[in-house]
Amino acid sequence: MHHVSNARLSAELLLAHCLSVEREYLYTHDERVLADLEIQALEEAVYDRIHGVPLQYIVGRQEFYGRYFLVSPAVLIPRPETEHIVEAVLQIHKAAGQASHPRILDVGTGSGCIAVTLALEIPGAEVFAGDISEAALQVARINASALGASVSFMCMDVVDATVSQFEFIVSNPPYVGRGDIHRLQREVREYEPHVALFSPDDELEVYRRLVAGAERVLSAGGYLLMEIGIGMDERVLELFNARWEKLPVKTDLQGLPRTVIARRRGSET
């Protein structure tokens, strides 16, 4: 027994991938006989899946905010809860008046899912995205180009290499403490990039650096939006000093606090 979650759906997606068709095709072509090479490809894909390789790395893509993103083991597989960052930026932008052309920085862009989505959803936005992993940036660049998004990418440690001013800084940083590795599912622990999962020292390290860096490169009245791990909201909110206005934390579909939002006070705010 190989305890693969959603086994039937996984099998269908693997078969569709090996035949280079969409899953719906399988239901209308049950007479289709597989060629030897297709059988071999399917056997290899099933072998990988039952040995823990995430489905998304085998089929090479994951949907995020209605678009497919290329994913490889160099990048975190985009998660549905991260879409709340996109929604929150769109909401704030809409309330501020659609005519503005915000400068947006995505820190730790991974596959580029947040940066590319914002570039496509906010016409006229100037979007920048950084990551410490050059391998991740290569995937993000491919996604931006395939989806027709204009994003400027840079290899950067948090916000250290920039002196520009932004109206939005967004990030889904690594937030798992090294000591919690055993709590992760095998698929995540063994196959997703550790640089994307683990905060180097304690869980809050990248948040601390993000808040300090954002204080330097956010324009007055600008917003910092960060995804947080379950149960981290109070500790992350404590990182903001009096120069920030803390907004209500957004919850995910299960009602868990997942997106911290703070506004940089300026002379007029």
Ligand X SMILES: C[S@@+](CC[C@H](N)C(=O)[O-])C[C@H]1O[C@@H](n2cnc3c(N)ncnc32)[C@H](O)[C@@H]1O
- Report the interface residues with ligand X, using CB under 6 A: 76, 78, 82, 107-111, 113-114, 130-133, 136, 157-158, 172-174, 195-196, 206
Residue (107 or 262) nearer to ligand X, CB: 107
Residue (102 or 110) nearer to ligand X, CB: 110
Closest distance of CB 121 from ligand X, Å? 15
Distance CA 10, CA 226 (A): 31
For 52: left if phi > 0, alpha if psi spans -120 to 50, otherwise beta; the answer is left
Residue (46 or 86) nearer to ligand X, CB: 86
- Whole-angstrom CA distances from 216 to 4, 92, 93, 141, 147 are 46, 21, 21, 27, 32
Closest distance of CB 112 from ligand X, Å? 8
On the CB side of 192, CA atoms within 13 Å amount to 22
Long-range contacts of 35-38 (CB under 8 A, 24+ apart): none
Closest distance of CB 79 from ligand X, Å? 7
Residue (204 or 206) nearer to ligand X, CB: 206
Q: In what order do the strands lie in the sheet with 244-251?
A: 151-155, 126-131, 103-107, 166-171, 218-227, 257-264, 244-251
Closest distance of CB 192 from ligand X, Å? 9
Residue (133 or 259) nearer to ligand X, CB: 133
Closest distance of CB 3 from ligand X, Å? 25
